[in-house]
């Protein structure tokens, strides 16, 4: 039969599967082919290929293959757990960005990391058995019989009553799964169990808490070793640890999820926000501030009261229900509605550093990464339909500028119209999605499509940032919204004097300012660039009795140049004070002795370096000012 491979027609046997196709068409790489694709959909290598299909192979080393490997490893781990703990019941076991996890109900048994070696040993044993992953489609009745002792699978099966259900088995283990998988357990050789945590079934705190075991799986021992080394670096760079050591922030038992910023943390935060103010002013944004608490009627109009009330903090004032804002957008809408607008005014770019509160589950709280109160660097931009593409391109240029300052690369994901429940015409959605896609292409940026994952009111672009340790963070977002302008009756007067509804773009750069501080703290390992560092320069007189006078002159000159400077004139030995300056990760450390005092010079050392450089004081002021103004690392 004929199929299409690498854009050319190819002939393979009728009913041939991926293995046979790889042998005939991709002999050089067949040992590394772990699945095949038709369009964007992946299939097991054992699956027959339909006549006329256009196929490609998924090979070891590709992102899709890594995801496949880790999902398959979650099944291998589940099989090992089933052997060691026969009463265990399994929930979900997906792949995640750098590995996988499985949620397991162990009953009364408490699983800790001390159990990992025995689970890993059983996994290695099953890997050596090279058990094939076999797919079987069954009816809901057959699935119920297979999983009759597992209430979690029974719940999922009940949601698929009208369709056939796919299962995968390897040896004596069977799981309810869409697949696909690597061909056999023999492909899974380089893995490590990482941590254990609690997780409510389906993320609902009203459900039972299961045990979530995290792991990671790689194609080679070298890749696994490198990844484990990165994980160790991440532990050392944990922002909670560094936040305490550097005096940035803390979270009190009196307010779980509500961070306290210390003096050094406020310097860092304000430096970040000063930059935010500057770039937004330059880009034509109008800064606003809206109230922290607004009435129930507003949140009913916006839809938050019906769909988000459980995550909102509410109270009564004069007998009326009020809520602390979890989002800034309804307030920005009221600002827009405060006046009559012409088409000539659009786009109107409202920017707000809004302090929002969300009632997050206590188990989800995590330093600055997940809090209950945070500053959202929002912008809400009112535009005409014909301005969507140009405005998105302008926002993307702003994102480029900001993320480059922090050395953060990113990829873009375009989320498109949901299958059901969306508002607006399909023609509008198609036009909007095409405009977002063109904006990406015209900006020279590739993007991935996440089909059906747009909000019900419009498509969106998500910007996935990558830090110095390879982690991906969701920060920037551009969300197109026709819902809120309609719900609030927003309008502008067009060129014909008629009222038209504007389109609104929701847009964040940092996302949560607090979370972004956590990200860059770990990205830099606490060694912030000079412009962000709480103390930019530490001055150490060799002998405070003789050299403090000149050290104070240096301090005064640096303060006049708006440098954050500290003089360490303690009675500790110079070596101790030098080490302490490194521990505090101060960008520039100056040593002031006889030579410097007599010559009007300073001797400076950059953080993390042993080299010392002597220059006239005036020249050093220029050096550190340049580092600050150019936002250089040092």
CA nearest neighbour of 555 among 573, 575, 538, 530: 538
Asked if 564 and 536 touch (Cβ cutoff 8 Å), the reply is yes
Active-site residue flag, 559:
no
Query: Of 33, 44, 378, 462, which is the active-site residue?
Result: 378
Residue with tokens 């006078």: 549
Query: Measured between alpha carbons, how far is 109 from 105 in angstroms, rounded to an integer?
Result: 9
CA nearest neighbour of 12 among 49, 56, 46, 57: 49
Active-site residue flag, 281:
no
Query: Of 177, 329, 490, 537, which is the active-site residue?
Result: 329
Query: Measured between alpha carbons, how far is 433 from 460 in angstroms, rounded to an integer?
Result: 8
Asked if 544 and 552 touch (Cβ cutoff 8 Å), the reply is no
Active-site residue flag, 79:
no
Active-site residue flag, 460:
yes
Active-site residue flag, 204:
no
Asked if 128 and 136 touch (Cβ cutoff 8 Å), the reply is no
CA nearest neighbour of 506 among 576, 548, 458: 458
Query: Of 79, 175, 325, 376, which is the active-site residue?
Result: 376
Distances (CA, A) of 428 to 43, 302, 308, 482, 503: 33, 21, 27, 10, 11
Query: Of 227, 349, 460, 597, which is the active-site residue?
Result: 460
Active-site residue flag, 376:
yes
Query: Of 227, 380, 417, 564, which is the active-site residue?
Result: 380
Active-site residue flag, 475:
no
Helices (H) and strands (E) in the chain, counts: 19, 33
**How big, in percent rounded to 5, are the helix, strand and coil portions of the chain?**
40, 30, 35
- DSSP states along 92-148: ---EETTEEEEEEE-TTPPP-GGGHHHHHHHHHHHHHTT-B-EEEEE-HHHHHHHTT
Query: Of 269, 358, 417, 507, which is the active-site residue?
Result: 358
Distances (CA, A) of 125 to 61, 83, 185, 423: 24, 11, 10, 53
Query: Of 212, 227, 349, 506, which is the active-site residue?
Result: 506
Asked if 129 and 83 touch (Cβ cutoff 8 Å), the reply is no
Query: Measured between alpha carbons, how far is 362 from 372 in angstroms, rounded to an integer?
Result: 9
Query: Measured between alpha carbons, how far is 525 from 412 in angstroms, rounded to an integer?
Result: 26
How do beta strands 173-176 and 165-170 pair? Answer: antiparallel
For the annotated catalytic residues, the residue numbers are 329, 358, 376, 378, 380, 460, 506
């Amino acid at each position: 039969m004929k199929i299409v491979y690498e854009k050319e027609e190819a002939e393979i046997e009728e009913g041939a599967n991926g293995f046979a196709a790889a042998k005939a068409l991709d002999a050089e790489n067949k040992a590394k082919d772990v699945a095949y694709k038709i369009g964007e959909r992946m299939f097991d290598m054992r699956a027959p290929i339909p006549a006329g299909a256009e196929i490609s192979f998924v090979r070891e080393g590709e992102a899709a293959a890594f995801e496949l490997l880790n999902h398959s490893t979650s099944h291998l781990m589940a099989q090992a757990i089933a052997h060691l703990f026969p009463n265990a019941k399994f929930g979900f076991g997906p792949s995640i960005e750098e590995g996988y996890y499985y949620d397991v109900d162990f009953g009364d048994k408490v699983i800790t990391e001390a159990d990992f070696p025995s689970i890993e040993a059983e996994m290695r044993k099953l890997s050596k058995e090279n058990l094939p992953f076999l797919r079987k489609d069954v009816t809901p009745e057959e699935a119920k019989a297979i999983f009759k002792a597992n209430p979690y699978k029974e719940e999922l099966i009940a949601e698929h009553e009208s369709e056939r259900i796919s299962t995968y088995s390897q040896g004596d283990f069977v799981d309810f799964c869409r697949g696909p998988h690597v061909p056999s357990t023999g492909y899974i050789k380089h893995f490590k169990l990482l941590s254990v945590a609690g997780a409510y079934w389906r993320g609902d705190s009203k459900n039972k808490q299961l045990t979530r075991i995290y792991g990671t799986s790689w194609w080679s021992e070298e890749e696994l070793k490198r990844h484990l080394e990165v994980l160790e670096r991440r532990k050392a760079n944990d922002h909670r640890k560094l936040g305490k050591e550097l005096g940035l922030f803390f979270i009190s038992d009196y307010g779980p999820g509500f961070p306290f910023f210390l003096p050094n943390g406020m310097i860092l935060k304000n430096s970040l926000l000063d930059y935010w103010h500057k770039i937004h002013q330059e880009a034509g944004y109008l800064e606003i501030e809206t109230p922290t608490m607004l009435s129930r009627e507003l949140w009913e109009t916006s839809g938050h009261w019906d769909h988000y009330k459980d995550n909102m903090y509410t109270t009564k004032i004069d007998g009326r229900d009020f809520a602390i804002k979890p989002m800034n957008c309804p307030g920005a809408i009221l600002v827009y509605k405060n006046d009559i607008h012409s088409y000539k005014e659009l786009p109107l770019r409202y920017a707000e550093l809004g302090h929002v509160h969300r009632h997050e589950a206590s188990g989800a709280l995590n330093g600055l990464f997940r809090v209950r109160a945070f500053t959202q660097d929002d912008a809400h931009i009112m535009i005409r339909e014909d301005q969507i593409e140009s405005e998105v391109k302008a926002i993307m240029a702003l994102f480029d500028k900001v993320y480059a300052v922090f050395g953060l690369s990113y990829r873009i994901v375009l989320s498109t119209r949901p299958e059901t429940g969306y508002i607006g015409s399909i023609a509008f959605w198609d036009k909007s999605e095409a405009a977002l896609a063109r904006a990406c292409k015209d900006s020279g940026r590739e993007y991935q499509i996440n089909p059906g994952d747009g909000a019900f009111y419009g498509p969106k672009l998500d910007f996935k940032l990558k830090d110095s340790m390879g982690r991906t963070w969701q920060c920037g977002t551009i969300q197109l919204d026709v819902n809120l302008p309609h719900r609030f009756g927003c309008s502008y007067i067009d060129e014909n004097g008629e009222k038209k509804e504007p389109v609104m773009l929701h847009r964040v750069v940092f996302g949560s300012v607090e979370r972004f501080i956590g990200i860059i703290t770990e990205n830099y390992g606490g060694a912030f660039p000079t412009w962000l560092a709480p103390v930019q320069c530490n001055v150490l007189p060799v002998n405070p009795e003789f050299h403090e006078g000149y050290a104070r002159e240096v301090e005064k000159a640096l303060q006049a140049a708006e440098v954050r400077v500290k003089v360490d004139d303690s009675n500790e030995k110079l070596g101790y004070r030098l080490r302490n300056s490194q521990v505090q990760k101060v960008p520039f450390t100056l040593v002031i002795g006889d030579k410097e005092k007599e010559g009007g010079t300073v001797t400076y050392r950059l953080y993390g370096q042993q080299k010392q450089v002597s220059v006239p004081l005036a020249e050093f002021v220029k050096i550190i000012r340049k580092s600050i103004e150019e936002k250089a690392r040092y």
